[in-house]
Amino acid sequence: MKEPLAQVKKLLCANIIDSVNDIWPSIHVIFEQNDLVKEASEAIQRVRAELGNMPEEPSRIIQFPNSKNKYELQELGIADITETILEVNKVITKRNQMIQIEDKCQEMELAIARLMLEVERST
Report the SS3 class of residue 80: coil
pLDDT mean over 69-90: 82
In a domain, 64, yes or no: yes
Distance of alpha carbon 14 from alpha carbon 34, whole angstroms: 30
Note the pLDDT of residue 42: 83
Q: For the chain, percent helix, then strand, then coil, each to nearest 5? A: 85, 0, 15
- For 109: left if phi > 0, alpha if psi spans -120 to 50, otherwise beta; the answer is alpha
What's the total number of domains in the chain? 1
List, in order, residues 6 or more apart from 116 with CB less than 8 Å away.
30
The answer on pLDDT for 57 being more than 70 is no
Distance CA 87, CA 71 (A): 20
User: What integer pLDDT is reported at residue 53 of this predicted model?
Assistant: 57
Q: Dihedral of CA 51/52/57/60: which sign?
A: negative
Average pLDDT over residues 54-83: 77
| Ramachandran region, residue 99 (left: φ > 0; alpha: ψ -120 to 50; beta: rest) | alpha
Q: How many CB atoms lie within 10 A of CB 22?
A: 11
pLDDT tens column, 108-118? 888 878 877 87
Domain that holds residue 83: 25-122
Mean pLDDT throughout 1-23? 75
With respect to residue 98, please indicate whether it lies within any of the assigned structural domains.
Answer: yes
Q: Cα 80 to the chain's mean position, in Å? A: 36
